[in-house]
Amino acid sequence: MIKNLRSPYLFISTVFFATYLTGCGTHGSIKGYQYATIKSNLEKAVMCVIKNNSNIYRDTSLDYLGSSPALDHLGDNDSAGSYVSWDAGDNYYNDIKHYVTIEITSGQVVNSYTFRYYGGDKEWSTSTRSELFICYVNNKKSNDGFKRNGEITKTMAKEFTEIFEKEFVNKVDKELNLQHIDAE
């Protein structure tokens, strides 16, 4: 296949963009928000907004299972080169470091959102940019939403992201004193 391409750069670019457009991991991204700051600053702002917004609830009862900064769910290679996966147990999608699950109440609507910080430990330690993206959302009353292999309509995505931005992202912007860049 490679010999049919004129340039290895074309092949690498094609693979990169095909991977980028298909989403992140086993789930896609509904919408992302990028900041010109390091991940630890974004993380602190996120936790501050969650703590100080009465319209946002985050279950902290299982934090002891997986909120350790030593965890990296993307895994590492051990000394023999074998892949090692760090397990956060029942708290995998609410471990604070990689994934955060929150409920946002806006009027009569209650949505559950799971968002992820883009990247892993290596990128977070060197990058001057950080990003979070919504990877799962569910309307608690109608049970509509996006699941790992599910579909979400543009109308649903707009409704979900409007609430997320109003109650959460705009407040993170203020906390950081930065304007996010949409990263879809």
| Closest by Cα among 134, 133, 155 to 144 | 155
Rounded CA-CA distance 142/65 in Å is 30
| Closest by Cα among 98, 85, 174 to 131 | 98
Report the share of the chain in percent with pLDDT over 70.
Answer: 64
pLDDT in tens, 171-184: 999 999 999 999 97
| Closest by Cα among 133, 131, 138 to 103 | 138
Which residue ranges make up each domain of the chain? 28-183
Strand 99-106 and strand 109-117: the pairing is: antiparallel
| Closest by Cα among 82, 73, 140, 146 to 112 | 140
Rounded CA-CA distance 82/89 in Å is 21
Does residue 167 carry a pLDDT above 90? yes
Beta strands in the chain (DSSP E): 31-35, 56-57, 76-77, 83-84, 99-106, 109-117, 130-139, 145-146, 181-183
Lookup: tokens for 83: 């892949």
pLDDT in tens, 79-109: 555 555 555 666 778 888 889 999 999 999 9
